[in-house]
A and B are shown apart, each in its own frame.
Chain A
Amino acid sequence: MPDAVKAKNGARRRSGRAEEQATRLSPDVDLVVDAGAVELRKSRTAGEPDGSLKALLREELAALDADRRNEISAELGASPLVGEHPSLPLSGSLYEIREVLRERLPACAVDARQPVGLAIEQILAIDERSFWVSGWMHDEDGEGAVTLVSPEGVRVEVTKGALRFERPDVVQFYATLRGTTRNHGFTAFFELPAPSLLTDGWIAELQTSEGVAVEIRCPAVVVDPLAIRATILGELGNRGPVGGELAAEHGRHALTRLQERIVADSEVESVDLYGELPSEPVASIVIPLYKRLDFIEHQFLQFSTDPDFAGVELVYVLDSVEQKDELAAKARELFALYGLPFKVVNLTAGAGFAGANRHGIEASTAPQLLLLNSDVIPDRPGWLTAMREFYEGQEGIGALGPKLLYEDDSLQHAGLYFHRAPGAELWENAHCFKGLHRAFPAANVARPVPAVTAACMLIDRERYEEAGGLPLHYVQGDYEDSELCLRLSKAGYENWYLPQVELYHLEGQSYVADTRRIPSEYNMWLHSEIWGRRIEELMAEFDPFEEGDPIE
């Protein structure tokens, strides 16, 4: 039993009117019973629960029939007040109510000779109101309904709308019984009308079409967002193509919420200032840092000898929060050496690439934003002014990306486009002329492109905000920049590639590992799902191999 429930004691109070009875459930919420009608009400006085709840329930409600009692518990758990004043004591009290009112069903024992079986393997808390459940059920015709009951009493029939699939292990387990279904497995994303805060106390009920009803206790809810993300991605990978029905009906909703929660859990802990930043900077350069801090020194050397940086607000955002002290030490040393002013944004938790950029942008002030990766090193000074001048001279420009090079002077970025293999459904991001030499003539033409990389992207702050910024819904993303560009393009802006400006992008190879396969496939699917139409229109107009008049 949850601690919050055990903590209650004290006596029941009579409220003002004779028929109406009330008891305190949490510091903010009372339970009111009036002639069989039950509701939650905002407390009018201060006070703590006094232990009178059980007696009240027994006296007033025990006589009602089972269905009505379940209904009351569910209505209370779903009450808007629970959403307005969520608290562990309130959830504890609701749990206590559920336990008194709920009609218990026979416990389901999983047995190869029994015609009915039920297992909930995991419940994942995406956030306080949305969950992910996986399990399996066995009955004669596969038509049975599984209902989850939250600790707070809310009932959700999860088999309705769930993805059903074959579980070879379960088929094998029940091999001696005749059954018409092989699709024992189910997975579903579901939402509750009000928050559920308790990790213990979920019940699952199975009601077969033949009228048999059983229940089981569910395992504790998993709350760690990174573990949840890995589990959901794993399930997407195990149920056919990553972008299949599970992703479309369930995975996308769950992962989008989860990404939002991960970013929401990350707040700015502190902003450290080194030196004096310009009071009215012309541009803010925002650089997220993740793990590799050794590039900073190389950036500083180049930045410090570039006169453009007099008007720049340089903002680093540390996304790998465990390196806070290491970065602070490095920052002090490098500031003492180069005298280049900058600020460091420290976060309470990792926010991912898009999230870290968001924090950095919020902590910056200039009217123009230059998003930059930490592994991008300028080839020569003057690049920022060249980009800004081009940007200002180009009517209706959205995002601007320069030429980026690998260490062997071959092209890493000369604009992005979208590629779809013949016969394939999904679009993937592709780089124009990737791997060709920096002097390749067709890559030395400034031109509008479908998208540019966020590894180095200049954009007007207002336009960035108008487009809603870098999206958060990609998992360890690769498509944030292209979605931002697609949003800009949808709003009528044009994204441009500028070859006159050259920087090196020492794009890492380490992450190409197999562990990235499922997230990449999921991201690619999501990106195509949202933007497929728009991409088709853009690609009908764009020739990635077009030869123009190269710059001199």
Chain B
Amino acid sequence: MSDLRVLYVAHNHPTLHPGGAEAYSLELYEAMRRQPGVEPVLLARIGSNVARRRVAHPGTPFGSVNDDPNQYFVFTETDHFDFFTLTSRDKSLYSRHLTDFLLAQRPDVVHLQHTHFIGVDLLSQIRRVLPDAAIVYTLHEFLPICNHHGQMVRTFADELCPEASPRRCNECFPEISPQSFFLRERFVKGHFASVDRFLAPSAQLMDKYLRWGIGPQRIEVEEYGRLMPDRRAGDPAQAKSPANIGFFGQLSHFKGAEVMMEAMAMVDPGVDAHLWLNGANLELQTEEFQEEFARLQEGLRGRVTFRGPYEHAELPKLMEDLHWALIPSIWWENSPLVIQEAFFHRRPIICSDIGGMAEKVRDGVDGLHFRGGDPVSLARTIERATTNPRLWRSLREGIEDPYPMDAHVSKLLGLYEETIEQRKGVAVSA
């Protein structure tokens, strides 16, 4: 029997843009490459917002990433992407170039990690070009549902949004008509109709897509599998109190940057608590945000240390001094990878009591919840956490190992086979 050919489509390549979904896409590709009988191909989007200059060759958007003949870039102009309708204005990207790519590669399965900057049109074009191929789509956020950066947070007052509708979306964007939101939804769902199976890394994310209208028979929860580093971070030096808290990720509004800074300012001066910021992309945030952040940082010199951006491989080292990981996001999140990473290194987590965080971190078992978006609640939680070594030790005991990549890979391979079989049924009955 010939190898199972699986094409992974990602909206970025981790060598160009560090990010959770990107890192996971490459890890999954590499894990699949080690599987006998599987030939994975990775197609990662590249464009002017991540590359310094146009890198495509004349006449084709495709190019190699490195020596690996199965990794490709596809160049798309950022300007050509319609962020509202999630489609490329250059339709020859689908009708010509991606079609040629699909015809040349002939994958049995196309597993999309994202369609951002490429466009949802790819989904129905895959179906047209390769009627037998199984199409699997992992959902990482709410971009298909929500025009507000896919966060499902209202544009006013940071209110969490449980559900989209043309009327509600128009409330968030008064300048965009309900009719436009209706068309957006119809367009995205029209292309989503070609997908055989959606995967949601968290149940709360799946719930929102179910409510949006993806049929329950087409979607299921499948957590990210992770390749974990060779070693776990050592234990922090024995001190009087578990005082060191680490934040990892983008310093942005939705990630709760202001909430955690305000909370640190409220922590009782007698409590020994210190926040270590391992964050990137501050320079990409709005000027207002950067000023606000600088202002908050100013009064917190003794309490907060900014360690700057980090490489994924440095994580064990960075975790070494820390007792806690903090995830103060004010949006739902999906399944934050930092949870798995912190748990692998046996660090309990302090997080907002909403969405994927509340789902993946068990309050009082392997972490502590605080009221999402509320700096007072976070300050009190930090005080409780950092002054209570026994609590810290008991939460550590409650941590379980994250979902391993091997299990994830077997699960996916089973799912691919099953979907291919289902498609044969479709082809026969049609």
Contact = CB atoms under 8 A, between A and B. Distances in A.
A419 B103 CA distance: 14
Interface string A400-426: 000000101110100000010110000
Binding site secondary structure of chain B:
mixed
Contacts of B117: none
A25 to B, nearest CB: 56
Contact of B104 (A406, A412, A440): A440
Contacts of B40: none
A289 B308 CA distance: 51
B103 A439 contact: no
B269 interface: no
A436 B97 CA distance: 11
A548 B92 CA distance: 28
B69 A421 contact: no
Interface string A501-533: 000000111001000000000000000000000
Contacts of A408: 63-64
B92 to A, nearest CB: 8
B372 interface: no
B60 A435 contact: yes
Interface centre among A409, A410, A422, A439 (most CB of B within 10 A): A410
Given A437-B69, A512-B58, A409 B96 contact: no
Contacts of A436: 62, 72, 101, 104
Contact of A434 (B62, B95, B103, B106): B62
Interface residues of A, number: 26
A545 B95 contact: no
A433 to B, nearest CB: 6
Contacts of A433: 104
Nearest to A433: B104
Interface in B283-331: none
Contacts of A421: 92, 95-96
Contact of B57 (A435, A437, A440, A547): A435
A408 B67 CA distance: 9
A435 B55 CA distance: 12
A430 B60 CA distance: 10
A461 interface: no
B104 A507 contact: no
A439 B69 contact: yes
A34 B410 CA distance: 106
A182 interface: no
A435 B61 contact: yes
Contacts of A42: none
Nearest to B60: A435
A435 B95 CA distance: 16
B70 A434 contact: no
A330 interface: no
Nearest to A510: B58
A409 B71 CA distance: 12
B36 interface: no
Contacts of A422: 95
Nearest to A422: B95
Contacts of B69: 437-440
B213 interface: no
B57 A410 contact: yes
B63 A435 contact: yes
Interface in B106-144: 106
Contacts of B72: 410, 435-437
Contacts of A171: none
Interface string A167-197: 0000000000000000000000000000000
Contact of A437 (B59, B61, B64, B103): B64
B311 to A, nearest CB: 24
A431 interface: yes
Contacts of A438: 69
Contact of A442 (B59, B101, B104): B104
B55 to A, nearest CB: 8
Nearest to B68: A437
Contacts of A412: 57
Interface string A425-451: 000001101111111101000000000
B62 A509 contact: no
A430 B59 CA distance: 8
Contact of B60 (A434, A440, A442): A434
A509 B55 CA distance: 10
Contacts of B61: 435
Given A438-B69, A507-B58, A409 B103 contact: no
Interface centre among A421, A435, A439 (most CB of B within 10 A): A435
Given A436-B104, A545-B104, A509 B64 contact: no
B43 to A, nearest CB: 11
Interface string B261-289: 00000000000000000000000000000
B392 to A, nearest CB: 50
Interface in B49-80: 54, 57-64, 67, 69-70, 72
A545 B103 contact: yes
Contacts of B100: 434, 545
A155 B101 CA distance: 59
B70 A437 contact: yes
Interface in A442-486: 442
Contacts of A544: 103
B62 A435 contact: yes
Interface in B197-232: none
Nearest to A438: B69
Contacts of B70: 437
Nearest to B65: A408
B318 to A, nearest CB: 33
Interface in B337-379: none
Given A421-B92, A434-B60, 18 more contacts: A406-B57, A409-B64, A410-B62, A421-B96, A431-B59, A434-B59, A434-B62, A435-B57, A435-B63, A435-B101, A436-B62, A440-B104, A507-B58, A509-B58, A512-B58, A545-B104, A545-B106, A547-B106
Interface of B: 54, 57-64, 67, 69-70, 72, 92, 95-96, 100-101, 103-104, 106
7 contacts: A406-B57, A409-B64, A412-B57, A430-B59, A437-B69, A512-B58, A544-B103
Nearest first, the 9 closest Cβ-Cβ pairs linking A and B are A435-B62, A435-B60, A437-B69, A439-B69, A434-B60, A545-B103, A410-B64, A408-B64, A410-B63
